[in-house]
């Protein structure tokens, strides 16, 4: 599929990269870009050799600086809701991919950009990254899941502070608060992301998919039912060639040779 506002490419075997590619507007998210993000998620979901997806923004100044205000300004209430639903649908498509999705944040990660990053499984950031949900400064609330995912990631009190003040936090504070997993020098950021992706693709591909499923489904269950789910997923692993190869390699003191799926 041809895209105008994003890039979707295979960077190494098993590793794909989605880049929001509107650097002149700091990668602002308009309707067309949101549609393309959704389509890219669908494409990755139907790419058998995809094992990891990296999500980033073009240029050095911004991951995504927010939604496109020039497009939003004159929307009616119904049109605003439709725009919100479009973003929700796009980000949820990435969030529910059965492979790990890592946000690689370079520069401003604000509003819709922060919401995009939070829909990934985790975030790594450059030391120059800045995060925020500044929508109240524009007279609106977050519209692409920010009020919900931010609260789940960093807790109610810190999320409320960010959401109602519109304050931006730097990468080191985002790390302390648990919004990001790692902070790296800007010039090392993508290579560090690739190092992590390379680690992942050395593991059992079915197990990686199943553990993501267990985490996503289990987090909304009570502990007893979540542990039942884990037992079911664990048992299912024993029907796979990955389990035979992984345990056999361990006992034979050799590196496992998992087959890509």
One pLDDT digit (tens) per residue for the chain, 261 residues: 789 999 999 999 999 999 999 999 999 999 999 999 999 999 999 999 999 999 999 998 999 999 999 999 999 999 999 999 999 999 999 999 999 999 999 999 999 999 999 999 999 999 999 999 999 999 999 999 999 999 999 999 999 999 999 999 999 999 999 999 999 999 999 999 999 999 999 999 999 999 999 999 999 999 999 999 999 999 999 999 999 999 999 999 999 999 865
| 176 within some domain | yes
In a shared domain, residues 79 and 191: yes
Together in a domain, 100 and 162: yes
- Domain for residue 22, yes or no? yes
In order of 9, 49, 120, 123, the CA distances from 56 in angstroms are 12, 20, 11, 10
Q: Do 142 and 183 fall into the same domain?
A: yes
Instruction: Check residue 125 and give its pLDDT.
Output: 98
Task: Please say whether the beta carbons of 53 and 98 come within 8 A.
Answer: no
What beta strand segments (E) does the chain contain? Answer: 6-12, 15-20, 52-57, 62-64, 101-105, 108-110, 122-126, 130-132, 168-170, 182-184
Helix (H) and strand (E) counts in the chain:
11, 10
Instruction: State the Cα–Cα distance between residues 164 and 243, nearest whole angstrom.
Output: 48
Tell whether 131 and 83 lie within a shared domain: yes
In a shared domain, residues 211 and 106: no
260, part of any domain? no
Burial of 237 from C-beta contacts in 10 A (0-12 / 13-18 / 19+)? middle
The answer to whether residues 163 and 187 belong to one domain is yes
Asked if the structure places residue 135 within a domain, the reply is: yes
Q: Do both 83 and 165 map to the same domain?
A: yes
Asked if residue 259 belongs to a domain, the reply is no
Position 2 scores a pLDDT of 85
Residue positions annotated with a catalytic role: 115, 135
Residue 258 counted as domain residue: no
Q: Which of 192, 212, 190 is nearest to 203 (CA)?
A: 212
At residue 255, the pLDDT reads 94
Q: The domain spanning residue 243 has which CATH number?
A: 1.10.12.10
* Model pLDDT, residue 1: 72
256 falls within a domain:
no
Cα dihedral: 53, 57, 60, 66 (round 10): -140
Query: Are residues 62 and 152 part of one domain?
Result: yes
Residue 116 has which token pair? 């995009």
DSSP SS3 for 101: strand
Contacts of 3 (CB under 8 A, 6+ apart): 21, 36, 39, 40
Asked if residue 229 is part of any domain, the answer here is: yes
| Per-residue pLDDT, 261 | 58
Q: Are residues 63 and 102 in the same domain?
A: yes
Residue 134: CATH number of its domain: 3.90.226.10
Residue range(s) defining the domain that contains residue 229: 205-251
Residues 42 and 152 in one domain: yes
Q: Do residues 186 and 213 both lie within one domain? A: no
pTM for this prediction = 0.95
Question: How many domains does the chain contain in total?
Answer: 2
Does residue 214 share a domain with residue 96? no
Closest CA to 58 of 14, 82, 27: 27
């Amino acid at each position: 599929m041809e895209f105008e506002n994003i890039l979707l490419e295979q960077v190494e075997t098993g590793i794909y990269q989605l880049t929001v590619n509107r650097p002149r507007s700091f990668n602002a998210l308009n309707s067309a870009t949101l549609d393309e993000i959704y389509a890219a998620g669908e494409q990755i979901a139907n790419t058998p050799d995809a094992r990891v997806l990296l999500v980033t923004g073009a240029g050095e100044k911004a991951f995504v600086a927010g939604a496109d205000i020039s497009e939003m300004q004159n929307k009616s209430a119904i049109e605003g809701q439709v725009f919100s639903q479009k973003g929700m649908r796009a980000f949820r498509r990435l969030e529910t991919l059965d492979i790990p999705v890592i946000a690689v944040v370079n520069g401003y990660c604000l509003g819709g950009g922060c919401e995009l990053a939070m829909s990934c499984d985790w975030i790594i950031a450059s030391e120059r990254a800045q995060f925020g949900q500044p929508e109240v400064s524009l007279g609106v609330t977050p519209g692409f899941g920010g009020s919900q995912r931010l609260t789940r990631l960093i807790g109610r009190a810190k999320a409320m502070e960010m959401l109602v003040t519109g304050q931006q936090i730097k990468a080191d504070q985002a790390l302390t608060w648990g919004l990001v997993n790692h902070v790296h020098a800007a010039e090392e950021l993508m290579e560090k992301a690739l190092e992590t992706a390379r680690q992942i693709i050395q593991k059992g591909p079915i197990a990686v998919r199943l553990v993501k499923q267990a985490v996503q489904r289990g987090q909304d269950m009570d502990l007893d039912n979540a542990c039942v789910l884990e037992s079911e997923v664990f048992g299912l692993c024993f029907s796979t060639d990955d389990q035979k190869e992984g345990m056999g390699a361990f006992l034979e003191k050799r590196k496992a040779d998992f087959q890509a799926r």
